[in-house]
Structure 1
Amino acid sequence: MPKKETPGPSVKDPELYEKLRDEGNSKQKSARIANAAAATSRSSVGRKGGRSGDYEDWTKQHLLERAREIGISGRSTMTKSQLIHALRDS
């Protein structure tokens, strides 16, 4: 059985690093996740990131622009609720 490599001094949570490597993650990804988990709580690492507002809060003009970006056809004749429905289904 091959000997496991030590993650090095830059990895803050070697136990989590090894677990992630065993799952097949790359060295860089494992180190990044292990260090993020050590800097904060482990449960908050997966919750990072932005949150998009609800389509109901968007103006019809913004919905039309988003529908144009995605390429929804017939958008110019749709009502606001129809646009929301079409955006959610795309």
Structure 2
Amino acid sequence: PEPDVHEPGEDFDDPDKDTYPGYMTPPPTPFLAESGLSGTPFPASVPGRVRQGQRVTLADGRECQVIDVIAYNNGLTACRVLEIPKTEWPNFF
């Protein structure tokens, strides 16, 4: 049998696309430095010992980055955090 020939500009959906590593996957999320975050830091209390620059998830589900550590007390860390904006990938990849 002769192979399929596709013309330039023709829509083509490769049936073997799932076999290629990394095909049609979104790019990795870039590292977020403190300087790249906007907003106003706010106080938070998170379980465990955290350090400046560490990412934490607050009890309400918000992802944040620790800006300053204020104190450690009874298994909690009092700190100031900045919320990391949510990134949603478009669904048209």
> TM-score, normalised to structure 1's length?
0.31
Q: Which has the higher strand share?
A: 2
Q: Which has the higher helix share?
A: 1
> TM-score, normalised to structure 2's length?
0.30
- Looking at both structures, which has the greater relative contact order when contacts are Cα pairs under 8 Å and sequence separation is at least 6? 2
